[in-house]
Structure 1
Amino acid sequence: MAERIRTHDWSDTPLGPIEGWPQSLKTVVGMMVAAPNPMVLLWGQAGTLIYNDGYARFAGRRHPELLGMGAREGWPEIADFNDTNIRRALAGEAWSLKDQELTLDRRGSPEPTWLDLDYVPVGDESGRPAGLIVFVTETTDRVQAERRVREEAERQRQML
């Protein structure tokens, strides 16, 4: 993703060309692209999306067009959810959501998806929150497996 980010035409986004990005943004992007786990940065009020390889795999068919889009346009099915989270982070709040259920269209049709999401505000040069980084861990397989075990246990109880 580092090369894709470097060669992306950012001039049509609220961020503008990379040469004009604040050092804080360049630094967090550099750290993020080196990370092995899925991470996405949402910068500014629009939540301009920059992400790493792990998140590119998570995004499925939305990648690579998702890069540089605003969060609302990039993930329209969860636009209100993302708007709320951007507001919270820009107010300086950090938080986590465990097994958050979202319906996402990553493979051509909407599907229920469960995620652990950790949100951290990212400051600009003045120290004020200017964006947020999200650590994304998909928990869908585990949540669905636990649900099947509970349903089977309930079915067994009803048989007795």
Structure 2
Amino acid sequence: MNRTDSAPSPSIDWARTALGARDGWPPCLRLTVDILLNSPLPMVLMWGREQVMVYNDAYASLIGLASLRAPGANVPSMQPAAWSWNSAAIRQAWEGHSASYLGNMLPVWRHGAVAQLALDLYYTPIRDDSDAVAGILCALSPSPPAPQAAAATDTRPLRLLVVEDNADARYLVCETLRALGHEVHPAASGEEALPELSRQSFDILFTDVSLPGMSGVDLARRALQQAPGLELMFASGYGDELTRHLEFPARSLQKPYDIEQLQSALDQIARRLRGTAP
């Protein structure tokens, strides 16, 4: 396995941008910019109500406009299409709601002219230490070819309620799931997650086993009382000792797990939900 170490963020003279010197940034901004600049996925961050924009090389390449030079970090003279195409989507993100929008036609530059490209957009509110939304991160990816009508139900995104008390881990797993095309609602505890089960429907509860307060296993038991058809996935750093002899079916992923293991577990659940599991 080849490894390439890179640390793009510290090498940039942020003091010359609208964000100012990096040592004055809040921790949430540092983390988000580091993830953005080190990601192969096109990402763009809107920071603050001034709408300072930070983006990576993958985003600049996707949009194709010659004037775009990562990392940006200034208020743009014209809003990118990812922000101007749907004011309601941006308003909901500022209100604290993560959301995904699949198969939207947005303008990009190709061969010196504007072309329309089908894109999937995933919006994540970035919260500061006071839990206020300080920015919005948008990840983009070209939409896959439209499935045939007969296969449409086979490609429906799964809806997951993700429960993880570690903010960084919660952010990363939610972004990964969105990048895989699924719809995600994050929660930091079992006590926060339970009311969501009565407000909206989910296909999967994906929870850490070790949570402060109510454990992931206790959360799963109470969740099944509210939603008996809910699929259950656990993530644990302690093996399967706590989930091996449960009275209900569930899948367990050992931390750290990789994206292939996560995708395999989701595929198996999706097949079971469609009634096509072997």
Q: Is the structural similarity TM-score above 0.5?
A: yes
Task: Quickly say closer, same or farther: Cα 1:99–1:65, change in 2 above 3 A.
Answer: same
Letter in 2 for 1:69: N
Measure the CA separation in 2 of the matches of 1:84 and 1:8: 34
Measure the CA separation in 1 of the matches of 2:118 and 2:145: 9
Partner of 1:110: 114
**Match for 2:145 among 121, 135, 142?**
142
Measure the CA separation in 2 of the matches of 1:37 and 1:113: 16
Q: CA RMSD in A?
A: 3.1
Unaligned stretches of 5+ in structure 2? Answer: 1-5, 149-278
Tell me which protein shows more helix as a share of its residues.
1
Kept after mapping to 2: 8 A contact 1:46/1:71 = no
Task: Quickly say closer, same or farther: Cα 1:65–1:24, change in 2 above 3 A.
Answer: closer
TM-score for both structures, normalised by structure 2: 0.43
Partner of 1:45: 49
Unaligned stretches of 5+ in structure 1? Answer: 147-160
Task: Quickly say closer, same or farther: Cα 1:78–1:118, change in 2 above 3 A.
Answer: closer
Partner of 2:73: 68
Measure the CA separation in 1 of the matches of 2:50 and 2:112: 25
Task: Quickly say closer, same or farther: Cα 1:47–1:128, change in 2 above 3 A.
Answer: same
Letter in 2 for 1:64: R
- Which structure has more relative contact order (CA 8 Å, sep 6+)? It is 1
Kept after mapping to 1: 8 A contact 2:46/2:54 = yes
**Match for 2:32 among 16, 20, 28?**
28
Measure the CA separation in 2 of the matches of 1:102 and 1:26: 29
Kept after mapping to 2: 8 A contact 1:66/1:74 = no
- C-alpha displacement of 1:79: 5.9
The percentage of counterpart residues that share the same residue type is 27
Kept after mapping to 1: 8 A contact 2:55/2:71 = no
The structure number with the bigger radius of gyration is 2
Partner of 1:132: 136
* Mapping for residues 81-96 of structure 1, pairs under 5 Å: 81=85, 84-96=88-100
